[in-house]
Structure 1
Amino acid sequence: MSQIYREGPQVDVFYSEIDDSEQPYGIYVPPGYKPENSYPLVIMLHGAMSNHRLALRRVFGHTNLPGENDAKASRYFPDWKPENYIVATPYARGTMGYQGIPEEDVWKLIESCRENFNIDENRIYLTGLSMGGGGTLYLGMRRPDLFAAIAPVCPAPPSAFYPLTGNALNLPVAIHQGGADPVVRPEGTRWIVDEFQNKNTLIEYYEYPGVQHDSWAQAYGNGNIFRWFDGQTRNPYPERVRYSTERYKYNRAYWVKFDKLNPGTLANIDARFTAKNTVEVKSENLEAFTLELKGHPLFDHLSPLTVKINGTSLQSQPRFNHYFTLSAGKWVPERYEAPAGAKQHGLEGPVYAAFTNRHIVVYGTQGAADAAEITRRRNEARELADFSISFGNYSQPSGVNPRVISDREVTPDDHLSSNLILVGTKETNNVIAGLAEQLPVHLKAESAAEFGLIYGVGIQGKMVVVASGVPIWNNIGQYMPPAPPQPGKTVFNVRSNKGATSLMEVKDLLLIQKSGTAVVVDTYLENDWKVPAAAREKLIQSGAVTVSE
């Protein structure tokens, strides 16, 4: 335990290197905590327009008193029945959903709890309400092997959750829902339950008749959620693993690791032991993977491993980790080594991924006629660095504050430590000019008033985003309107029509034309960061850009 906490509820902070900020969270330490004993951990995610302090109250069954608003309830922690759990509640930048930077804050908080407390690795749980219930579903599907169980309450998940429901094969899920909820409709939650049931997931569903958008009172009242968690323990070595992902960022679950995929395309694996040292694998859109089997009760590392992949049987020699690669259309027991500079874990795009880690927004000073032009460019960069949220009648100032600097202020350390968001063209931004030969596309100077270009590439271990011409981020809905709602399906994507979060749906490269409000190209780049042939042809035909060979 690296620092001293008092018993009971309290508030602490952790350091986020994303924007050099201190991020608050609620933390509960059980009475009589002993560092030599291991403790289960519950992570509780708050809902929209809420906070970490209220979340800590809610998970212990305390709603607001009659006539008490959230502002007043946030000022104090009432007495409650003790539980023998460590409980942590991230602020996660307020109402930003649980993708991107808020997601990183959740992982950071779990890491912080592991550093500060003796946590039982097989008893880490995730729960949350409303927006936080949706975050529980999404994060649980992204890292199912981290949690022993998840318990979403009246969940409003992002659209990215829905293709991942099969990932909960070994993850117990208990969903709570108000039968008369006008905000998160029960029909949408029942749809989620059906999806899990169709995938043979361990799903429990509790619907409370007549209850509106406050079913957390039933879910968390009387210690209910802790009693359910009491009976759930993670199995790190299940006989079968089913996992889907479209990102190297989420490239492993249990004893399966994805080594080569096409970012942006969902890859799937279904691997199961059929006997001792015998595994059957079904895969789709996957070109290389590893079976990390050390410690698995059905595996003997001193004996060969027999693996059947999509009907083809292979033998792998005795070792702890077993590697398989698709070569010339056939699976072979060989290890895949990513070429230098290729897309890989931590370096893959899409554009918004560069904003979710430490980053600097850089505006150009080259060729500026006067101070007013410098000010205009600086303001344009600040607009791109803005993470404020606005929807309906709600607005929240930016909860993320990256550095915004000129090209003359960028240091060698900035290149090594940060993703660079470069605003301008090679004619206006010295940093873009310095990287020009390593960049795949450049907007022509004469096209900057009519076209907008934004793309991200990996260079020397960091992401570099180039944003040129028309500032797409000032009204992206004009070019990429949000998908229409699907009847009966609950989707809550938290983003704005302006600023950084407006780019969440952009792939690796986007070119728009202002006058026609048209998307000219919206594409993923290839694994070596080159422009695909079809997109390359469209870029050239636009006449607005030059494309590197």
Structure 2
Amino acid sequence: MRIKLKHLPILLLPFSLSLNAQEMKGELNKEFKRQEKISYILDYPQKVKGNVPLIVFLHGSGERGNNLEMVKAHSPFTYKNLIKEPVAILAPQCPADSWWDTMTLYNLIKEIQKKYKIDTSRIYLTGLSMGGWGTWKLAMEHPEMFAAIAPVCAPADRIMEANIDQFKQLPVKIFHGGNDDVVSPMNSIEMYQALKKVNPTVTLTIFPDDNHNSWDSTYSDPKFYEWMLSKKLNK
């Protein structure tokens, strides 16, 4: 499935870049082979017959690097006992000093589908902070892959708002802390307001007493998993 996305020159991410640029024109017509490397943890249920749902979790910037155990922090791994049916949980690790590469993530999920018995109609995506940004971006580029998404305390940008129609068929729940002083809750509020126009089912939860750690309130709620696992793609 080929998706045409709109591109805007200005991002709303919480940092700025200053570049000196020279305008050059040219044409590139060459086939590239892309090498991809990413580490991950996959929690896969044992002694289960048939295909299982897959929850993909994207961590925040503090868990980048090469210590895979870090990706379990602040994640659904911590609350597996709240999930009432067998599920697989996939948590890749973003390299140090990088942001999520959505092409690599997409290919990783496709590879996991090939290697394990995954119900492709029940693949879910969630992430916090930088991983929430990755959740928005990956779902924007491949909305057909996911049965539901849940960005948590996520930065957003104008490219996502410009392509808001990409999310109009997706079940989406957005979460943020009202006192977040790392990523302003306005990121989630503005995405919610834009998305509500094309997707009336979207919901926004603001935890009024939470700072940037709204992942605790989100992932510790059994109803979060009940909602997510109730969604299924029509295939």
Settle same-fold status: TM greater than 0.5: yes
Give the corresponding residue for 1:55: 71
Match of 1:234, SS state, is coil
| Alignment of 1:89 onto 2:105 | no
CA distance in structure 2 between the partners assigned to 1:171 and 1:45 by the alignment: 18
> Which of 29, 41, 54 matches 2:54?
41
Give the corresponding residue for 1:185: 184
Amino acid at match of 2:92: P
Match of 2:62, SS state, is coil
Displacement of 1:134: 1.0
Over aligned residues, Cα RMSD in angstroms? 2.2
Amino acid at match of 1:203: V
Displacement of 1:38: 0.8
Moved over 4 A (4+): none
- Aligned identity (percent) is 28
The Cα offsets for residues 122-146 of structure 1, whole Å up to 9 and x where unpaired, read as 1011100001101111111111111
1:28-427 matches, cutoff 5 A: 28-34=43-49, 37-51=50-64, 53-60=69-76, 62=78, 80-81=80-81, 83=83, 84-98=86-100, 102-236=101-235
Distance 1:42 1:192, change over 3 A: same
TM-score scaled by length of structure 1: 0.34
Q: Which has the higher contact order (CA 8 A, sep 6+)?
A: 2
Displacement of 1:212: 0.1
Alpha carbons 1:154, 1:213 under 8 Å: kept: yes
Alpha carbons 1:25, 1:53 under 8 Å: kept: no
The Cα offsets for residues 482-520 of structure 1, whole Å up to 9 and x where unpaired, read as xxxxxxxxxxxxxxxxxxxxxxxxxxxxxxxxxxxxxxx
1:444-459 matches, cutoff 5 A: none
Match of 1:182, SS state, is coil
Count residues in correspondence.
198
Match of 1:105, SS state, is helix
Displacement of 1:22: 4.5
CA distance in structure 1 between the partners assigned to 2:200 and 2:183 by the alignment: 22
Higher strand share: 1
CA distance in structure 2 between the partners assigned to 1:234 and 1:115 by the alignment: 18
Amino acid at match of 1:90: P
Match of 2:48, SS state, is coil
TM-score scaled by length of structure 2: 0.76
Structure 2, unmatched stretches of 5+, are 1-32
CA distance in structure 2 between the partners assigned to 1:26 and 1:186 by the alignment: 30
Higher helix share: 2
CA distance in structure 2 between the partners assigned to 1:225 and 1:55 by the alignment: 20
The Cα offsets for residues 2-55 of structure 1, whole Å up to 9 and x where unpaired, read as xxxxxxxxxxxxxxx734x65210111124333xx0111111111113145333
Give the corresponding residue for 2:39: 24
Amino acid at match of 1:130: S
